[in-house]
Amino acid sequence: MRLKGNWLEETGFMTGQPVQVSIEHGLLIIRLVENN
């Protein structure tokens, strides 16, 4: 899946940042992957 647009940076996501995409209760959830 490719997600792009100015809204990504406006919500705190930066280009190249790893994310986890899941579906919960009919919602598409995008979470940042933490580097521990």
Select from 25, 16, 9 the least CA-distant residue to 33. Answer: 16
**Chain-wide mean pLDDT for the chain?**
87
How many domains are contained in the chain?
A: 1
Interatomic CA distance for residues 12 and 14, integer angstroms: 6
CA nearest to 21, candidates 13, 6, 31, 11: 31
Q: Which domain holds residue 11?
A: 1-36
Predicted TM-score (pTM) of this structure: 0.62
Reported as a single tens digit per residue, the pLDDT across 1-36 is 788 888 888 988 888 888 899 999 999 999 999 876
